[in-house]
Amino acid sequence: MNALSRSDNFDAALAGAARAAADWLVADQKPDGHWVARADSNSCMEAQWCLALWFLGLEDHPLRARLGKALLKTQRPDGAWQIYHDALNGDVNTTVEAYAALRSLGVRDDDPALVRARAWIESKGGLRKIRVFTRYWLALIGEWPWERTPNLPPEVIWFPLWFPFSIYNFAQWARATLMPIALLSARRPSRPLPPDRRLDSLFPGGRDKFDYELPKKANAGGWDKFFRGADKVLHALQEFGARQKLGLWRPAAVAHATEWIVRHQDADGAWGGIQPPWIYSLMALHVEGYALDHPVIAKALDGLNDPAWRWDEDDGATFIGATNSPVWDTMLTLLAFEDAGLNGEYPETVEKAAEWLLARQVRVKGDWSMKLPNVEPGGWNFEYCNNYYPDIDDTAVALIALAPFRNSPKFQALGIEAAFARALDWLIAMQSRSGGWGAFDKDNDQKILTKIPFCDFGEALDPPSVDVTAHVIEAFAKLGLPRNHPALLRGVDYIKREQEADGPWFGRWGVNYVYGTSAALPALAALGEDMRAPYIGRACDWLVAHQLPNGGWGESCASYMDHKSAGRGAATASQTAWGLMGLLAANRPQDAQAIERGLAYLIDGQKDGTWAEPHYTGTGFPGYGVGQTIKLTDPNLPKMLMQGPELSRAFMLRYGLYPQYFPLIAIGRALAARRAPSPL
């Protein structure tokens, strides 16, 4: 029988919530048809831009003061800055960078905000614990010796594809960031802070006695020792060459790397659709002689005025985004209207959005083609401008969102069938050897790369994940690929292998096991998998067991380091929707009460058509280095990764529209299930 009982009053409440959410989205749609909302991350964004403008000689840039106000606004009461909302603890890297940025603005050492920050930093062991990127920032402002930062020679640009250390074996985000840092590492530039703004207070024992060495990771093994030794050799060679004025191949490597960076600039002036390559490329090119009025630099700086990246608040604070998400937001909003059965009630809204989305297919080759030179482009990207890096997740969800328009004469005339064919061929070609799909590249899994000193941040690799793989499988099913297609068979096998012993799936791009499970179950259902299978039952049992007393679901970002936090946290609208999406896909009779309680939570929590959600439920990097799930029960793990539940090596996100379209998707699917006839 159908898992959901029928109640006219409850159905009316659900329909009313769906209509209110849809009306809110209609009012929020951009004139050209797309949707986008702010993507919040952490205060490194504001701190680093404040420091970058100083480094570029733009200390009087009006944005700097606004960034300073944003930093003061986001400081925790304990003096730290954090990686995600309501984190258990602050992050030493973000706090040091924010401290440095405020000092560059002339905030005094004895200012209460900096007194609190400094005391907090000292309580966490001081500067000894900071990551590589923070060390680079301190070097750029004259507060850290360049020779005590990991050396990245620009000659890596010449490594062939078959070589493990080829730049194309790094994840997209790491590759795009590595190249400008290699130029900065080769040049070792700095623009020191004035004497009265230096960070002397962060060196309480004096700079001469400070230990600048990178802390050793627990159980790091022989490769760590080898690469640390290699780093010292590279520094020695660089210093010898500088003393003897021996350039060897360095000028050619610098020229090649510079050309690579210029070629990869996006139309909006940024690089890679994210902040790190944008900010480092801007500084690296300026060091290479590109003047501030050079078109490349001017375009990069002008991106800071683009509302796609910048959010000005009424109190004088400005926040700069780590990314922007219009393509992702638009396709998921389209999916929400379809799942709620509202396409016919909002035809102009939906059609305009679908046209916008279809036109965003990327038709030029990007870095992915280095491994697949004979494959035609056919993906979608995440941001407004990022043609070099279309991603598999966006491409799969674009197909799901556009599938309802496949038989429309208008969309057939716009070439939807050809677009689908290109996308399907591209997705099949991008499948990794494991049977799963990564986000940006095929077979991006050279774990040795994670051992080099540079790679102590986020993730250096982009291996397959269950959530991306599930979306691809769901897209294939929606478009009618045969159930016995080799790509589908291998993908399903991958998902089954990756299931956790207690039932859920790890969430790579959303927090966390609730997200991964909510992606896997609908994909398996769309494919026609037996939803009464024991492994499906284990996943549903896990979701039901982790439902909160108030009917919602919530999972803290801390679950990426604390296994006891898996499926645990404050209830949120987006994660409640994910839990419901998983259970509705299986539609087990025994889950009817849990589903209704989850739906009631969404109904009760809606206000003026939307849901408030300050918590971060989007994942950038869990901070593992390897880019995939790891065992969290090892007691040495915090020392090995050099992070705890505060996620000092991670990068988390709050997508502004997650608590809007995901609840609408869940409510819409519930309404469809409740209206479906119950089998005898």
Instruction: Catalogue the active-site residues.
Output: 393
Nearest-5° Cα angle at 351, 395 to 473: 25
CB 599 within 8 A of CB 14: yes
Beta bridge partner(s), residue 200: none
| Residue 319, SS3 per DSSP | strand
Helices (H), 141-216: 172-187
Composition of the chain by helix, strand, coil, percent to 5: 55, 5, 40
Nearest-5° Cα angle at 150, 124 to 288: 120
* The 618-621 sheet, strands edge to edge: 39-40, 651-655, 618-621
CB 586 within 8 A of CB 540: yes
CB 619 within 8 A of CB 626: no
User: Identity (one letter) of the amino acid at 109?
Assistant: D
How many angstroms separate the CA atoms of 589 and 1, rounded? 7
Helices (H), 450-498: 466-478, 486-498
Backbone phi and psi for residue 531, each to the nearest 5 degrees, phi listed first: -80, 5
How many angstroms separate the CA atoms of 439 and 178, rounded? 18
SS3 annotation, 221-281: CHHHHHHHHHHHHHHHHHHHHHHHCCCCCHHHHHHHHHHHHHHCECCCCCECCEHHHHHHH
CB 561 within 8 A of CB 643: yes
Q: Which of 549, 533, 556, 550 is nearest to 652 (CA)?
A: 556
CB 520 within 8 A of CB 495: yes
Q: Which of 271, 399, 412 is nearest to 331 (CA)?
A: 399
Task: Sort strands 39-40 and 618-621 into parallel, antiparallel or unpaired.
Answer: unpaired
Q: Which of 664, 553, 618 is nearest to 37 (CA)?
A: 618
Q: Which of 295, 205, 275 is nearest to 51 (CA)?
A: 275
Helices (H), 170-221: 172-187
Long-range pairs for 549-555: beta carbons < 8 A, 24 or more residues apart: 550/601, 551/576, 551/597, 551/598, 551/600, 551/601, 552/576, 552/579, 552/598, 552/601, 552/602, 552/605, 553/514, 553/578, 553/579, 553/580, 553/598, 554/615, 555/511, 555/512, 555/513, 555/514, 555/515, 555/617
CB 662 within 8 A of CB 573: yes
CB 122 within 8 A of CB 85: no
Q: Which two tokens stand for residue 480?
A: 């009618």
CB 145 within 8 A of CB 104: no
Beta bridge partner(s), residue 625: 459
Q: How many CB atoms lie within 10 A of CB 186?
A: 22
